[in-house]
Amino acid sequence: MELWYTERQTPHVGITCQVKETLYTRKTPYQELAILDTFQFGKMLVLDGMVQATEVDEFVYHEMITHVPLHTHPRPRQVLVIGGGDGGTIREILKHREVSRAVLVEIDKEVVEASKEYLPRLSSSLEEERVEVLFEDGIQHIKSRENSYDVIIVDSTEPVGPAVGLFTREFYQYIYRALKPRGILVAQTESPFFNGDLIRSVYKRISSTFPLTRLYLGSIPTYPSGLWSFTLGSKEYDPLEAGEIKENLDTRYYNQEIHYSSFKLPGFVRELLEGE
């Protein structure tokens, strides 16, 4: 008998994958956690019924959320990741030798533990010397910090459950205060096709907090619609003036051309950002 997994991405759209084996399922104090082994996408991390990462396409998301801000900031020494318990973003951060400390704040310890056991391609860097892993609420962590980080990456799940507070104006104001004077924020901000209202509201909230705000895109097959957005808020540095991009980082999606072209937005996305 065949086993299939379906994520219902909207009331009328979903993605379905054939499953080899269910490797792990558990209801944590925060969410439903599952790791599946699929035929097309390899091992897949699922939280509350939504795909977070797969072995086949995770590199796109993790490279884009990481290397754009770390190449924009000329001296990213202290980097914070809120969420991202699978470890993929930390893996990409450590490719930058100038980073002296990478802090991961993950509210759900069981996501990290399951990723270490079943997703070593993503999580192996969590044991590195430059990494500090804290199991606590990202909002509470950021509220108690000031002038602490060069780059903050919000690697959150969708805005439901424990991640709801990571999309508010107040949260971005906390981040602004926690960043150093020339700091940069990047947050994943969902699909332009399916989450236009959310993207517009988050863009406006970040724009009202940071002097410079830019949205950029990446293509991730297992995410809703396959087109994904990231929003960058900067106190000073402009990603469009990042200069020459290092090409020795062992990336599969991100490069100099992608860095700049990802900010070339389709007309419908521009209209979305300009709407009320």
User: What are the structural domain ranges in the chain?
Assistant: 3-54, 58-274
Do the beta carbons of residue 224 and residue 13 sit within 8 Å? yes
**Domain spanning 58-274: which CATH class is it, in words?**
alpha beta
pLDDT (mean) for 247-254: 90
What span, in angstroms and rounded, lies between the C-alpha atoms of 68 and 262?
10
Nearest to 89 by CA among 73, 70, 75: 70
% residues pLDDT > 90 (the chain): 91
Express each pLDDT in 17-50 by its tens digit.
999 999 999 999 999 999 999 999 999 999 999 9
CATH classification for the domain delimited by 3-54, as one of 1.10.287.3510, 2.30.140.10, 1.10.1740.10, 3.40.50.10420:
2.30.140.10
Confidence of residue 162 (pLDDT cuts 50, 70, 90): low
Q: Is 57 annotated as a binding residue?
A: no
Residue 155 annotated as catalytic: yes
Confidence of residue 158 (pLDDT cuts 50, 70, 90): low
Express each pLDDT in 132-141 by its tens digit.
999 999 999 9
Express each pLDDT in 228-244 by its tens digit.
999 999 999 999 999 88
Q: How confident is the model at residue 156, as a pLDDT?
A: 84
Q: How confident is the model at residue 159, as a pLDDT?
A: 60
**Mean pLDDT, rounded, of the chain:** 95
Q: Is 106 annotated as a binding residue?
A: yes
Do the beta carbons of residue 44 and residue 56 sit within 8 Å? no
Q: How confident is the model at residue 164, as a pLDDT?
A: 62
Q: Is 138 annotated as a binding residue?
A: yes
b/e sequence 103-123, b meaning 16+ C-beta within 10 Å: bbbbbbebbbbbbbebbebbb
Annotated catalytic residue, options 155, 197, 238, 250? 155
Q: Is 157 annotated as a binding residue?
A: yes
Confidence of residue 58 (pLDDT cuts 50, 70, 90): very high
Confidence of residue 160 (pLDDT cuts 50, 70, 90): low
Express each pLDDT in 185-215 by its tens digit.
999 999 999 999 999 999 999 999 999 999 9
